[in-house]
């Protein structure tokens, strides 16, 4: 059985099995991390073993907090688990979205957004069970690649970049 994550069921937040949350499209908590270095965003290509959106490009990392886990603790934990490094993260905002993600599964997430703007690039050591590749792209390059090949990107990264760039990156990163 997979992890129990915080989801709203009949208006009440309670622990629900992760796959069940996605099958039923329940509104649930999530975190997304965006690591920047020299105006470039670290993105990852999801491992082929992932149960949804395998092989697609996403933001630096994202996940669901465990039941009663603090969002900041969750973001730091997942960054280490997926990419093998730890950096100070700043809570930037909270975003809600709903998207069909893969073979009938639905993400209806209330996402705590965390950002790191680093002076020194981290040593990235991807966990091959989670991540098959990484890249550093400017936001302009990411916009261009999404426009040219939207099928290569997760639904949520397209939503973040299309609708929430200023909330996530701030106006200075978009200039």
Range of the domain at 53: 4-166
* Residue 48 within any structural domain of the chain: yes
Domain count, the chain: 1
The CA distance from 152 to 148, in Å, is 9
pLDDT in tens, 56-114: 999 999 999 999 999 999 999 999 999 999 999 999 999 999 988 777 888 899 999 99
pLDDT in tens, 29-61: 999 999 999 999 999 999 999 888 899 999 999
- Selecting among 81, 107, 109, 173, the annotated active-site residue is 109
Report the predicted TM-score, pTM, of the whole model to 2 decimal places: 0.93
* Residue 175 within any structural domain of the chain: no
* Residue 132 within any structural domain of the chain: yes
Quick count: other Cβ atoms within 10 Å of Cβ 172? 9
61 a catalytic residue = no
CATH number at residue 59: 3.90.79.10
- Selecting among 61, 62, 74, 82, the annotated active-site residue is 62
148 a catalytic residue = no
């Amino acid at each position: 059985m997979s992890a129990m994550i915080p989801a709203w069921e009949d208006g009440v937040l309670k622990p629900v099995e992760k796959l069940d949350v996605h099958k039923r499209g329940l509104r649930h908590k999530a975190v997304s991390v965006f690591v920047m270095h020299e105006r470039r965003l670290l993105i990852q290509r999801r491992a082929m073993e992932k149960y949804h959106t395998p092989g697609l490009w996403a933001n630096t990392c994202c996940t669901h907090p465990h039941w009663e886990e603090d969002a900041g603790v969750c973001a730091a934990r997942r960054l280490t688990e997926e990419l093998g490094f730890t950096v100070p993260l700043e809570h930037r905002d909270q975003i809600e979205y709903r998207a069909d993600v893969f073979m009938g599964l639905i993400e209806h997430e209330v996402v705590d957004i965390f950002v790191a703007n680093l002076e020194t690039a981290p040593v990235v050591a991807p966990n091959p069970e989670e991540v098959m590749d990484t890249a550093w792209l400017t936001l302009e390059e990411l916009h261009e690649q999404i426009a040219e090949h939207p099928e290569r990107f997760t639904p949520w990264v397209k939503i973040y970049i299309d609708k929430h760039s200023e909330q996530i990156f701030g106006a200075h990163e978009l200039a």
